[in-house]
């Protein structure tokens, strides 16, 4: 997911979604999620179209239902439905992979049952009566590109669809179920079969987001305790996107800071940062994380401590500990959206377009990566709290902000953003600007301008 990462490759899992500590947020779930997952080892990619076969819906495999849960089910979290509690649920899943006639269905139904079971909902056997019906419809598309040495590899994927919850006597609830993994610029593994594209990462992230929209943060808290690294990491990733609304997840995230996988630990730290000052109870655990052997974890811990406290003792654990012991609970915590005034000056200047010259023609729906050279013309060094933010124009499926490598004053950095050519043909331009924290942007605005064609 360019720039300094909070997470590395997920161990013992297929390619996975790795949040970054500063800006590689998962994209809005209703559009897609931006994922970069593999250790750097390849070259750049260029996309090309592939023949499309007729759509072929794939029935989900039959999975025996779990026994009735012993915990009390939670009420719905969706707006206007908080007084409704579903105890028994009928589940319908339809998957379609139009470009892959031989594609086996992914275990979406099984994962959904497991998550909802932990919330006290009983997914009944087909034909049994139920309080409500949850229908998941997902269409998957593999994405591939040409890599220098490896040839054509299917390293990306897109899923689109929706989740419909129908309760007798009420209007149906519909939430999007969508996600996209863009092509990473460098790869370690080259899937040659489109069926091997990273669908699981995309649909599982999209599923967690949709279930969150229906049942709230407890969905993600439950997933944080899953035995699979991938599920825990993706749950933390959705919590990053949720932000302050997920304050009830703070105790679970504090526990996850001790997870066996460094990617999950880093993701938990970033999720706490997005929750903000309401995560103040996590400070002692974050101080402990400053001693983590993995740089992506302790760097995220530094960034998060700054964000939720408004203080800055860098990676000095002793200084943080002294402040905590002397200032809590008596010292008020300032808002995380107002970074302290720096003793240095912040500025940035555009130098050059590295990729995607103005008005280049790109096929509609194709992912691409825009890279700029931007010079740090201020006197502040850019660290993990800096990012390149989308500020105006056409976002083209890009993230709200993109990671920036650590850059000393006077030096320049190559900063990249993953985008997708809009489906409607025409000329599109989007503006981006350097920012720090949540409140201050500065320097030249840079832009990307393309022509999307069918």
pLDDT tens-digit map of 252-300: 999 999 999 998 999 999 999 888 888 889 999 999 999 999 988 988 9
How many domains is the chain partitioned into structurally? 2
pLDDT at 51: 35
- What domain range includes position 441? 348-453
Question: Of the candidates 155, 190, 216, which is a domain's last residue?
Answer: 216
Do the domain assignments include residue 375?
yes
Q: Answer yes or no: do 212 and 356 share one domain.
A: no
Q: What is the CATH number of the domain that holds 388?
A: 2.60.40.10
329: Cβ contacts below 8 Å, ≥ 6 apart: none
Do the domain assignments include residue 236?
no
Do the domain assignments include residue 44?
yes
Q: Is the preceding omega at residue 329 within 30 degrees of 0, hence cis?
A: yes
Give me the residues of the chain with pLDDT under 70, please. 1-72, 327-342, 438-439
pLDDT at 13: 40
Question: Of the candidates 173, 191, 216, which is a domain's last residue?
Answer: 216
Do the domain assignments include residue 298?
no
Q: Which tokens sit at 46?
A: 């260029």
pLDDT at 17: 40
pLDDT at 283: 92
pLDDT at 338: 43
Q: Answer yes or no: do 207 and 355 share one domain.
A: no
Radius of gyration of the chain (CA): 22
| Spatial separation of the C-alpha atoms in residues 176 and 173, rounded to whole Å | 10
| Spatial separation of the C-alpha atoms in residues 185 and 136, rounded to whole Å | 32
Strands 360-363 and 440-453: parallel
Place of tokens 């995220």: 300
Do the domain assignments include residue 134?
yes
pLDDT at 438: 65
Q: Which tokens sit at 448?
A: 């990307």
Nearest to 200 by CA among 134, 105, 264: 105
Do the domain assignments include residue 107?
yes
pLDDT at 315: 86
Do the domain assignments include residue 61?
yes
Evaluate whether 17 touches 201 at the Cβ level (below 8 Å). Answer: yes
Nearest to 418 by CA among 432, 402, 407: 402
Question: Of the candidates 165, 185, 216, which is a domain's last residue?
Answer: 216
Q: Which tokens sit at 88?
A: 């028994």
Predicted structure pTM score? 0.61
| Spatial separation of the C-alpha atoms in residues 285 and 279, rounded to whole Å | 11
């Amino acid at each position: 997911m360019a720039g300094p990462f909070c997470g590395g490759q997920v161990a013992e899992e297929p390619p996975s979604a790795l949040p970054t500590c500063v800006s590689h947020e998962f994209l809005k779930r209703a559009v897609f999620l931006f994922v970069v997952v593999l250790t750097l080892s390849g070259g750049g990619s260029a996309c090309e179209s592939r023949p499309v076969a007729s759509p072929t819906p794939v029935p989900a495999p039959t999975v025996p239902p779990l026994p009735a849960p012993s915990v009390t089910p939670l009420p719905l979290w969706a707006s206007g439905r908080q007084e409704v509690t579903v105890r028994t649920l009928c589940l319908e899943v339809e998957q379609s992979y139009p470009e892959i006639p031989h594609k086996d269905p992914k275990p979406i139904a099984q994962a959904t049952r497991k998550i909802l079971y932990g919330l006290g909902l009983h997914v009944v056997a087909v034909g049994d009566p139920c309080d409500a019906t949850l229908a998941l419809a997902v269409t998957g598309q593999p994405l591939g590109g040409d890599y220098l040495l490896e040839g054509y590899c299917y390293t990306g994927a897109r899923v689109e669809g929706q989740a419909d919850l129908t309760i007798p006597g009420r209007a149906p609830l519909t939430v999007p179920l969508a996600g996209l993994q863009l092509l990473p610029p460098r790869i370690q593994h080259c899937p040659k079969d489109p069926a091997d594209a990273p669908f699981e990462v995309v649909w599982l992230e999209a599923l967690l987001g949709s279930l969150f929209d229906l049942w709230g943060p407890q969905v993600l808290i439950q997933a944080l305790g899953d035995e699979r690294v991938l599920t825990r990491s993706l749950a933390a990733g959705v919590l990053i996107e949720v932000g302050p609304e997920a304050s009830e997840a703070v105790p679970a995230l504090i526990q996850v800071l001790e997870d066996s996988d460094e990617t999950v630990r880093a993701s938990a730290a970033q999720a706490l940062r997005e929750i903000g000052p309401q995560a103040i109870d996590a400070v002692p655990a974050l101080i402990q994380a400053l001693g983590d052997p993995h740089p992506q974890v302790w760097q995220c811990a530094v960034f998060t401590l700054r964000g939720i406290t408004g203080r800055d003792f860098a990676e000095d654990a002793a200084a943080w500990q002294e402040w905590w012991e002397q200032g809590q609970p008596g010292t008020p915590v300032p808002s995380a959206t107002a970074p302290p005034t720096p003793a240095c000056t912040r500025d940035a200047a555009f130098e050059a377009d590295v990729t995607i010259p103005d008005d280049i023609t790109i096929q509609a729906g194709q992912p691409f990566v825009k890279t700029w050279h931007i010079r740090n013309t201020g006197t502040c060094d850019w660290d993990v709290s800096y990012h390149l933010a989308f500020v105006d124009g056409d976002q083209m499926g890009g993230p709200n902000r993109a990671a920036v490598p650590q850059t000393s004053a006077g030096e320049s950095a190559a900063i990249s953003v993953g985008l997708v050519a809009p489906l409607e043909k025409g000329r599109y331009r989007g503006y981006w600007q350097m920012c720090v924290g949540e409140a201050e942007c500065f320097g030249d605005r840079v832009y990307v301008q393309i022509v999307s064609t069918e």
